[in-house]
Amino acid sequence: MRFPSKERFPPGAYEVESFRRLENLKNYKLNSNEYQKSYFESNLQSENVEKGDQFEKYVVDRFDDRFFSIVEWTTDMSRKHNRFVESDCNPDLVIRDRKTNEIFCVECKYRSHLVNGYFDWSYPEQMNRYFSYAHERTIPFHVVLGFGGSPDSPSEVFCVPLEKAKKPKIPVGTLQKYRHNPTEALLWENGILR
């Protein structure tokens, strides 16, 4: 197979071609007959989904029903129906403070452990969606991070404003100022989740 020399393409053509190929991959899906997840992959994914669901419930239980109502709770329908659902990309929770009528978003992330002193909470595409969601709706957005212990009883919990969680991995030292006592109720005070 022979590759064309660079001289045959105008400047920037390689970048355009690479981008076009990436765009084609965006819509590519493996036929379920072509690929079957291994038993280990399926179990690991199911275990992670279950941990995420348990941590979401833990976070919801920290919002006292007398003071907060749940406006939306993303249910990840794609997992149940093998079809992409746009709302699955939304934050886990949209909460209303009953006293002030303020609405804010919460994304829940649990990890069993840290990786080299970092809480690895997201990836760039997901973060971009969260920032877009918060910006388009002009709504406060917090990430509740839990690690250690178990998803329904984490050792550590942090309530981080999205604008302070600008990287997929956050050093645990940076998180300390957002620490929340895992046994106490969550509070909404002056636009900050505590």
What is the reported pLDDT for 172? 94
CB–CB of 52/44 below 8 Å?
A: no
Buried b (16+ CB within 10 A) or exposed e, 96-119: bbeeeeeebbbbbbbbeebeeebb
Q: Mean pLDDT in the chain?
A: 81
Could you tell me the pTM of the whole model?
0.75
Report how many helices (DSSP H) and strands (DSSP E) the chain contains, helices first. Answer: 5, 10
Residues forming beta bridges with residue 104, ordered by sequence position: 95
What is the reported pLDDT for 44? 60
Residue 74 to residues 91, 136, 151: CA-CA distances in angstroms? 7, 18, 18
CATH number assigned to the domain with residue range 37-193, chosen from the 4 options 3.40.50.300, 1.25.40.10, 3.20.20.80, 3.40.1350.10: 3.40.1350.10
- pLDDT category of residue 32 using cuts at 50, 70 and 90: very low
Per-domain boundaries in the chain = 37-193
Structure tokens at 58: 């833990």
